[in-house]
Amino acid sequence: MRRVKLDRIDLQILKDLQEDGRITNVELSRRAGISAPPCLRRVRALEEAGFIKGYHADLNSEALGFEVTFFALVGLDAQSETVLTAFEDLVGGWSEVRACHMARGPSDFVLQLVARNTAHENELTQRLTAAPHVATVQTIQVIRTAKDRPGVPIDPETGLAPDEEF
């Protein structure tokens, strides 16, 4: 990964792309206050440096038939690297698992899952409970989401230590 020194323009580009991944390069360059060719070079450099991991569409899960979002707090019976990696590999293959985080605290993992309905949620919970080395599973069903923002907060004027090299 190539090291890039972020400045105000880079931060503005990252902020705008995070808010709208389909923004045109012309509009992106206008907002950043530079012309289109150097803007495109900066975007490519930010991609190569790993600041931009990819682009995706934010889909409406309910409209696509996934009416339930829930979190599962999973405790394992062992924390060896082999057991942890095996669990990550297992749930990494489940399409309903949308995020898997190893956690510090009372649980080893926090998963975010989607299900078609409560019966599907129960089925997924049973699959989790039956998985190798799983000792505990606690689920938390989402009733409503007031805020769901991807990425990180970016303030081009004061954020992300623009003088530091990353």
- In this prediction the pTM is 0.85
Place of tokens 């070079």: 41
Q: Does 14 map to a domain?
A: yes
What is each CA distance from 31 to 4, 23, 163, in whole angstroms? 21, 11, 21
153 inside domain:
no
**Does residue 19 belong to any structural domain of this protein?**
yes
Number of domains in the chain: 2
- For residue 73, the enclosing domain spans 68-141
Whichever domain contains 42, its CATH number is 1.10.10.10
Report the candidate in 72, 67, 85 with the shortest Cα–Cα distance to residue 137. Answer: 72
Same domain for 39 and 78, yes or no, is: no
pLDDT by residue for the chain (166 residues), tens only, comes to 455 679 999 999 999 999 999 999 999 999 999 999 999 999 999 999 999 999 999 999 999 999 999 999 999 999 999 999 999 999 999 999 999 999 999 999 999 999 999 999 999 999 999 999 999 999 999 999 999 998 999 999 876 544 444 4
Residues 72 and 137 in one domain: yes
Query: Are 26 and 85 part of one and the same domain?
Result: no
